[in-house]
Amino acid sequence: MNNSGVQEIYYSEMKHTPIGPLTLFATGTGLCQVEFGDAATSCNRLERWFADHFGGAALRESELQLDEFRRQLEAYFAGELVEFSLPLDMRGTDFQLRVWEALLDIPYGDTVSYKDIAVRIGNPKAVRAVGGANNRNPVPVIVPCHRVIGAGGQMVGYGGGLGIKETLLQLEAVRGGALLF
């Protein structure tokens, strides 16, 4: 928070990744948002989200504040990192937070179904709600919602588009059907 009581959120754009530009947003606590796209578009698109989840925000561009986040993502894209060790500041409902925590348990290179996640969080009938929580994951790639596929092994739904999901799974050398974790 700054002196006026507004949450400071730092951002930095990664212009060149295998999935196109990414814009990273972090509070003093941790990474709070990863957006597919350039910084200007992402900042405009997230204005309402920041108001809803932080009561407003003062956005500050800062390579320094996001250096470690960028470094780990670059290592992931280079195939040198299989598990992130980044502090997160995720904002969502209790249900969403449980789903996102379960996503963090999916090992690199594995895939699971939406049903697997629903069972994992103790609510096996919540398959559609798990899909909705996946869609609202504020930190894709780091919280690996791309590793969740349809029950029959088919590619379904991804906030960044199926092409990005397929690229991430290919990067992790995932081939074929769902694996349980």
Question: Catalytic amino acids?
Answer: 145
φ, ψ for residue 16, nearest 5 deg: -125, 105
φ, ψ for residue 7, nearest 5 deg: -65, 125
Are 90 and 32 within 8 A, CB to CB?
yes
The phi-psi region of residue 74 (left if phi > 0; otherwise alpha if psi is between -120 and 50; otherwise beta) is alpha
Residue the block writes with tokens 């800062």: 62
Are 131 and 169 within 8 A, CB to CB?
no
Which of 77, 126, 76 is CA-nearest to residue 99?
Answer: 126
